[in-house]
Structure 1
Amino acid sequence: MRVKEIMCQPCLSKDKKTVAEKFCLTCNEFQCIDCSDVHNVLAVFKSHKLLNVKEANATRCDKHQKVLDLFCEDENKLCCSTCAIVDHRKCHSVVEVEEIAGKMTSPSSNLEEILQEAKNNAEDIARYIITSKYQLVQDVKEVRVKVRRMRDKVMRMFNDLEVSIVKRAKSLQEETLGYLDKKQSQIEKHLANVAAYLETVNGIYKNGTQTQKFIAEQKMYNEVNFVCRNVNEECQNFQTITISFDFDEQLTLPPRSITDFVPGQLTLKYQERESVNAVNKVMTLTQVSSIQLKKTGDDSRETFITGIDFLPDGKLVAVDHYNKKILVYNEELEKVGSYQLSYTPQSVVTVSEDEVAITSGKEYIKDILRVSKANEISSVRKCKVTTKYDCICLKDDNQFVVGTIDYQIPVEIIPLTGESYNFSMNFPNKAYPVNASACTYIRSSDKVVLTDRSEHTVYIYDVKTGTRVVVKDDLIMEPRGVAIGPSDTILVCCKGTDSIVELSQTGQILSSHKIDMKYPYRACVARDKSFLVVINSCLGNMKMQKFKISL
């Protein structure tokens, strides 16, 4: 947009063109810097009010370049003296701006707030564009990964087919060779008999008398006929045996390129982005309590909590990784219960009114314990599992969602009883070591959230549609634990920024909250979404903090 330059009026009177930078309300003229300096020199001009050109333009009529000193109440419009005569002479109420402005107790519109909101929205869109560009790059990579996975699956199918078909072919070969060996033995026996009879017949015909020939023919006739019949039967019944394998015509690839027959569809999808203000109210956090986590009593090491969750009555249950304990804290973060475990715990989730489930990062175990109203803890049952698990949360009343450790599939489902199984999702083909990733599950929308600490990335997987959102932003540095916040937003513990970042389920960054804690590690939210508790992983300065959530 081109901006029209305004010339200094005193300079123009001297036939000199100089760009104006100031406007004097008292002198009612635009002035350059040199001409406006007189207001700072002479006392008679010091009471004059100077504005920048931009500020002055905001108070002047675009059409007549006069001061907007009048306001038409009929048309709710600012006007200059010329506008009032030309355009508003039939209006009933045209008053001075100073008069109507003096009557106003508050501005009719808060321009600063409107502009700030526009600025925030523009910045949000800018971040969203960066995320979208990154997502497009990742999507293209994912396309290649999917095709390769499909290729590998097909190759595995053909490898299995080869093993199966060859095994069956060898079995048929062995059966057929046995049959042919038997035939060969019979034929060789017949050949020997024929050769013996031929030798006898040749000898008699060559050296014998006529009488001897007659006697030999009569004596051997039946035997020779028997041998010849057997040979003839073998010739008539003999079959040529071959083994072959033919593909079903539906599986036979066409003579043209495979790209003409792609067994899938490549799509480009445009989706309207949700409005932050329309869908999610941004939360605020107010710290209500904070404690230092120190070595106490019979602890062998400093307390290191690696898992935490709210109990239904508002108390907290936590697992102390170093000291192999499960702990109970009241609403004021005072420790009111403790239970010694025989293994190293990793994470904990509340299962029911009085039961919790615990995972271990070192043992193949999932433990169920009972926590009484009196904060007494007892073991209910232990379940052996085939994978080491870190994070754990409820999928529904009968199943858990767990994050794996050093396993190629990063997220699995574990029923309360039974073997684990997988989501039908293309999770990163990556085995995460302990503390390198965390996961949680959103029941209301059937979505899985997965963090990747080294990649500074949060993945949001939609189980229903099989799609995902990849979130990368400067606010998300070394993401650790995740929890589900108010309105089912996603709360991410970010070690690199010492903050809790709030995301929408579509990957929008709604808010970021700097907290008084180094290296936030895990978080949990009360059932009514009114409180958030965060623990950290800063050795020597371990903390647990509780925050009030407001919208």
Structure 2
Amino acid sequence: MEVPGRTQDSSPKDSARKSLSRQRTIFCQPCSSDGDTMVAIGYCQNCNEYLCAVCLKVHRKQAVSRNHIILDGDNMPKVTLPTVTPNACSDICTKHENEIIKYFCMSHDAVGCGDCMIIDHKSCKVDRIQDISTEYFNGTEHQNILKKVEQFVKDMDEIKRELQASEGNMRQAYTQAIKDVKAFKKEIIDYLNKAESEMLEMINERKKKNEMLIQELQQAESSIGRNIREIQTKLQLQVNQANDLFVEAKQVKAKLDVIDENLNRLKKDISIDVYTFQHSSSMEQMVKACVPLGDIVDGSKQKIENRASKHDCLVSGKEVTDHTGLDRKSISEMDAYFDCEINIKTQDDASDCFIGKCALICPSQIIVADEKNKCVKLVDVNNKEVSKYNLKYSPTGVAVVNPNRVAVTFPGDRKIQFLTITAGNKIIESDMINVHTSCKKIAIHEDKIIGITDTSVEIMSMSGQLIKSLSHPNMKWLIDIAVIPSSQIFYVSNSLKCFDVFKFDFDGNLIATYKDKDLVDVRGLEVTRDGTVLVCNWTKYGSIHMITPDCKKIKELLKDDRHVRYPWCVTFCNETNKLFIVNNVSNLDKKFKNVLKVFQLR
């Protein structure tokens, strides 16, 4: 029987179902953060979170949340409350474990429990946290903290990116360091292979010479032997015939004198020099000292160096020194101070020295070409001793091929003489080559000879064969040449009409020019390891101009120094920062003659 005012659709059960379906279902917030969907049965006013049965049980057990106010069932809010609401304080005081932090002291910007306020802040104005917390939420301090935290998040993101970049740089540095070590090892092996080939070539040349000498001596012995046997036979045949014997004896008498002379010469020449290999004492010291290939250098401190400096200890010097350059000033930042002078005139010199060129073999040894006395001289820098080797011709230039081999130029005879320096610092002549023109000065570049005439630069093989001849309108009277290792660049000094330094490439293209009002005349050149060019300013009160690789003036060294007059040639040691200068002019004062001036850069 139907009741008025109620239909089937509006039964109490159906109305309740529809009412419940219209209510919003609230889920546990801690579970939701883990991706789980659990219906909330309670709400924590302190934490402002909805909790399921499991989370609520844990919440009531934990010491930190045991005293929180929990609303459950119909008492809990049916919608998510605002993030900040005034709620009861629940954080436990660190000093008084049974008390809750409820108060704030504005004077000391500190929070604490009631005991804290009584003991430490009884004379201060104290507020209840519950009374001021809502206002604080929208205050400046809270906003600043939010901004600072936001900035911290950004900083951490940046740090993360930098860490990732650093990790990439670390891997790259590791790979590059391994590559560099292996490349340097290959350079050393290549150098040793080349040095071995040169030594074997010298031994083979000596063997060929000795074989030719033996062959000539054998031929002479055979010829003399035949003549003696022939005379002996003729004399024996005429032994019983006095007249014939007399005639034959008189005829062979003249031959006997010739044979006697030939026999004496044969006896003198028959002794063949026996040679042995004497290894380099410098190499032996390196092996015994277990010298490392290099060092691991902090990239922020490592100077940019020319690649050639990596094997200076093998190619440019006999002594092994530190090549890292850590905490060292660049050459351009240094000044030169007089250190000492070394007398380079020997007792048997016929005249005063005229040193056309000097070159550094190693930090303790320099070779100089003495044109007037027809010799080269080895200068021991440490002991201030000089050893001399006389030459057939007058040398004007000298260049270091390797620590045991140098080359000197004889322009008047169009020859270049190679000399070998033994482990005992004795000089022996190696091969001499003929060149197509008069080379005054030379430089050794890899496996080539770079020489200068008055008006051209000649690029030749090590055997003297011309590869290329370079000329330019600015090459009028060339004085000296300096080549940058591991590059196709060289510098020349010119001293006619214009007193300049020119920078060319190996194709003869003019790259840069250096001229300066204080550069009166030019002579010797030197390029340091970092590419700085040193130029002798050849004048009465001379100096050394220091210029950049692109021919810009850095500064003038030793200007008005009492030890410098007409500086002719210069060389520099990258290991000790020592500068070596020789003064030259026809009427030079005696106190400047015959000495090698040594200056310390610091």
- With the shorter chain as reference, the TM-score category is 0.3 to 0.5
| TM-score, normalised via structure 1 length | 0.45
Length-normalised TM-score, structure 2: 0.41
